Amino acid sequence: MAMPRTLHLLLLLVAMALVVSCSPMPTSVLATKRRQAMDEAAAARIHALRPLRGSGRELASRGGVACDSWALGVEAHNVRDWKTVPASCEGYVGHYMLGSHYRRDSQVVVDEAVAYAETLKLAGNGKEVWVFDIDETTLSNLPYYANHGFGTKPFNATSFNAYVLEGSAPALPETRRLYSKLVSIGVKPVFLTGRTEDQRAVTVANLRRQGFSGWMNLLLKQPGFKGSAVAYKSGERQKLQDAGYAIVGNIGDQWSDILGAPEGARTFKLPDPMYYIG
Ligand SMILES: [Mg+2]
């Protein structure tokens, strides 16, 4: 008689745990291996239980989206112009953002950025700059979004701006690592943000409180600007270039941070499955 799948998995898990526990290894290594074995067994069960569904905006709008596929589509810029995270993906996005996955994905991005920065041959004229976006790139608004459905609810400018004015947003630790590296080698940071000019003082205070200093410029959106995010940000980068600066790098959480000439010699996209800015 065929063994029930759950029993089979349970026996496999016990056997793996026994193999690990009988090995003459240090306690920390044992604990890590035991955890890996349990994760693998759990992953196999979860994968088997997961419904086989496609992804995309149509499915997302009907609530039948596979959230990991949807998020990948967002990061690859295949899924565009979305207004809210699919309601059925609140749990997925919440776990992603609050667990270790978001941090690990950010580490990969910044590891690449730091490795690239180490290859730069600076001219010695102080003209090399690196453009940083602020929200979900330098400062994290996760405390706000965790209380507002992780992007499943329509954006509320009133409550979000009230949060910004608290000036309490924590730094993204990986981006702070990149920032410090760039300052140490002589590349000047430039903040380029969709935050508005009237938010300058609180933004400066928040950045300083989170350990950022020594930036060359903080560029905020001026009153009356009506264009798209791409038009705004590429226009500001063009002004930097026209003033003789070389944009050696550019990092943001939105595709609109890194699209539109001049993009910068290298661009880096941080993950953000919570909102889309076109
Ligand atoms: Mg941003």
Q: Give the distance (Å) from ligand 1 centre to CA of residue 112.
A: 19
Residue 10 predicted with pLDDT over 50: no
The two tokens of residue 146 are 């965790």
Q: Are 179 and 191 in contact (CB under 8 A)?
A: no
More confident: 3 or 142: 142
On whether residue 194 sits in a domain, the answer given is: yes
Give 85-118 pLDDT, tens digit per residue: 999 999 999 999 999 999 999 999 999 999 999 9
Q: Write the CATH number for 132.
A: 3.40.50.1000
Report the interhelical angle of 5-21 vs 27-49 (nearest 10°). 170
On whether residue 71 sits in a domain, the answer given is: no
**What is the DSSP-derived secondary structure letter of residue 122?**
-
On whether residue 252 sits in a domain, the answer given is: yes
On whether residue 83 sits in a domain, the answer given is: no
> Could you list the residue range(s) of the whole structural domain that residue 247 is in?
106-143+167-269
Q: Give the distance (Å) from ligand 1 centre to CA of residue 105.
A: 16
Sign of the alpha-carbon torsion through 167, 173, 179, 185: positive
Q: Give the distance (Å) from ligand 1 centre to CA of residue 14.
A: 45
Q: Give the distance (Å) from ligand 1 centre to CA of residue 137.
A: 5
Q: Give the distance (Å) from ligand 1 centre to CA of residue 230.
A: 12
On whether residue 22 sits in a domain, the answer given is: no
Q: Percent of the chain at pLDDT above 70?
A: 77
Please count the structural domains in the chain.
Answer: 1
More confident: 62 or 248: 248
| pLDDT in the model for residue 99 | 95
On whether residue 148 sits in a domain, the answer given is: no
Q: Give the distance (Å) from ligand 1 centre to CA of residue 6.
A: 44
Q: Give the distance (Å) from ligand 1 centre to CA of residue 253.
A: 5
| pLDDT in the model for residue 65 | 76
Measured distance CA(234)–CA(14) in Å, rounded: 57
Q: Give the distance (Å) from ligand 1 centre to CA of residue 135.
A: 4
Give 155-204 pLDDT, tens digit per residue: 999 999 999 999 999 999 999 999 999 999 999 999 999 999 999 999 99
Residue 45 predicted with pLDDT over 50: no
Q: Give the distance (Å) from ligand 1 centre to CA of residue 52.
A: 33
User: What's the rounded mean pLDDT across residues 14-31?
Assistant: 48
On whether residue 81 sits in a domain, the answer given is: no
Stated pTM of the model: 0.78
Q: Give the distance (Å) from ligand 1 centre to CA of residue 144.
A: 14
Q: Give the distance (Å) from ligand 1 centre to CA of residue 109.
A: 15
Give 60-90 pLDDT, tens digit per residue: 445 567 999 999 999 999 999 999 999 999 9
| pLDDT in the model for residue 35 | 58
Sign of the alpha-carbon torsion through 73, 75, 77, 79: positive
Q: Give the distance (Å) from ligand 1 centre to CA of residue 278.
A: 11
On whether residue 127 sits in a domain, the answer given is: yes
Write the CA distances from 158 to 84, 155, 165, 272, integer angstroms. 17, 9, 11, 21
Write the CA distances from 182 to 18, 109, 179, 242, 245, integer angstroms. 48, 15, 5, 22, 15
Residue 54 predicted with pLDDT over 90: no
| pLDDT in the model for residue 41 | 56
More confident: 214 or 47: 214
Residue 20 predicted with pLDDT over 80: no
Q: Give the distance (Å) from ligand 1 centre to CA of residue 123.
A: 30
User: What's the rounded mean pLDDT across residues 48-53?
Assistant: 38
The two tokens of residue 262 are 């001049």
What is the rounded average pLDDT for all residues in the chain?
86
More confident: 140 or 19: 140
Q: Give the distance (Å) from ligand 1 centre to CA of residue 48.
A: 36
